[in-house]
Structure 1
Amino acid sequence: MPALTHTRPTHAESSGVDVRLPWWAIALPAVAFAALLLLIAGPGQAHAATGESATGQLLRHLVELLTR
Structure 2
Amino acid sequence: MSAGTHSPHPAARAAQTRLPWWAVVLPAVAFAVLLTLITGAQDAHAAAGAPSGLEQLLELLRNALFRGDR
With normalisation by structure 1, the TM-score equals 0.40
Q: Which has the higher contact order (CA 8 A, sep 6+)?
A: 1
Higher helix share: 2
